Amino acid sequence: MLPAFYAGRRVMITGGLGFIGSNLARRLAALGADVLLVDSLIPDYGGNLFNIDGLEGQVRVNVADVRQASTMNYLVRDREVIFNLAGQVSHIDSMRDPHTDLDINCRSQLTLLEACRHHNPGVKVVYASTRQIYGKPERLPVTEQHLVRPTDVNGINKAAGEYYHLVYNNVFGVRACSLRLTNIYGPRQLIRHNRQGFIGWFIRLALEDQEIQVFGDGSQIRDFVYVDDAVEAFLRAGATDAVNGEAFNVGGDEHITHRDLVELLVAIAGTGRFRFVEWPPEKKAIDIGSFYTDASRFKAATGWAPTVPMREGLTRTFAFYRAHYDRYVGGGEGAAPS
């Protein structure tokens, strides 16, 4: 289904030079799609031109900010599917600078959706949401019926961004859906700093034979999705109208404690070590405890299922960063891996 749907199809990816966006671009290029990548390349947000190394001539890149209405009005005009991945994803940054998070995760979404409504109402939009919108879960696994009660500014703004998409679907007829992603990991993830999720930072520390500090006793549970499986979820959502107007969990089938995760990371890397430490107050205040989702609704609607086991995914990830370390850790940060 996917090769036939995407061959020659005009696709746009916002945040296209970032982690998930660039991996999605690679898959779409392989499927023969006409791919336009839009990215602001704001420092420390994850955009990296090396992420599309080897795709020269297969994709087009427009360095632009999604908040710029005139630019979006032009770029959306001929696109058939838009994967909307642009955003600010750091929970800590959202608490330190809530106005910027509001600007990027809310106003930018309205700018894009207004561009679609007025200049390309027939487009299909797939929005990248997050499990963070649920807040601290009342029960596990978390289904889509769980209350949306974010514990931080980022979660509030991502929830608003999601609801904008659903409203534009239901009221204005701009076909849209939302994927509530859990912890995505894999090649091309930002590892220069630790403000965009812990898994990439843990991978870097293990790679550099450094100490991983685990907050608390390591008993918290998470689910993880390898980036290739996340890409497959986006492609399936973009190719079917059965998901329009809905929000879906996209989570992994393997649930693992932080303790078991760092033991696995160190074992696969053959380097690194870990230690349990007290929670920093600013992080403890927005922590959600154990969390994993039930993705059965999305599986039923699209036939999607994760296929890459965590050990295999981490093995691929370490191999990628060992081969391209200097492209992801700049400015002499850290020690080069052996």
Q: Which of 2, 16, 251, 60 is nearest to 140 (CA)?
A: 251
Which residues lie below 8 Å from residue 201, measured CB to CB, with a gap of 6+?
Answer: 191, 193, 194
Neighbours of 133 (CB within 10 A): 25
Tens-digit pLDDT string for the chain (338 aa): 898 999 999 999 999 999 999 999 999 999 999 999 999 888 777 789 999 999 999 999 999 989 999 999 999 999 999 999 988 766 677 788 888 888 788 899 999 999 999 999 999 999 999 999 999 999 999 999 999 999 888 999 999 999 999 999 999 999 999 999 999 999 999 998 777 678 999 999 999 999 999 999 999 999 999 999 999 999 999 999 999 999 999 999 999 999 999 999 999 999 999 999 998 887 787 788 899 999 999 999 999 999 999 999 999 999 999 999 999 997 433 344 54
- Could you tell me the pTM of the whole model? 0.94
Q: What is the pLDDT of residue 205?
A: 96
Q: What is the pLDDT of residue 331?
A: 47
Domains (range + CATH), the chain: 2-185+225-250 (3.40.50.720), 198-222+254-292+308-328 (3.90.25.10)
Q: Which of 328, 285, 264 is nearest to 22 (CA)?
A: 328
Give the dihedral of Cα atoms 146, 147, 152, 157; nearest 10 deg.
100
Q: What is the pLDDT of residue 21?
A: 97
Q: What is the pLDDT of residue 268?
A: 97
Neighbours of 194 (CB within 10 A): 16
Q: What is the pLDDT of residue 91?
A: 65
Strand order in the sheet with 10-14: 59-63, 34-39, 10-14, 81-84, 124-130, 175-181, 247-250
Per the structure block, which two tokens stand in for 100? Answer: 């910027």
Grouping H, G, I as helix, E, B as strand and the rest as coil, residue 95 is helix
C-beta of residue 295 within 8 angstroms of C-beta of residue 141: no
Q: Angle CA(97)–CA(213)–CA(207) in degrees, nearest 5?
A: 100
Q: What is the pLDDT of residue 196?
A: 66
- In angstroms and rounded to an integer, the radius of gyration of the C-alpha atoms of the chain is 19
Per the structure block, which two tokens stand in for 40? Answer: 């602001």
User: Greatest CA span in the chain, whole angstroms?
Assistant: 56
In order of 183, 212, 224, 252, the CA distances from 261 in angstroms are 13, 11, 10, 14
- pLDDT tens, position by position, 57-111: 999 999 998 999 999 999 999 999 999 998 876 667 778 888 888 878 889 999 9
Q: What is the pLDDT of residue 336?
A: 43
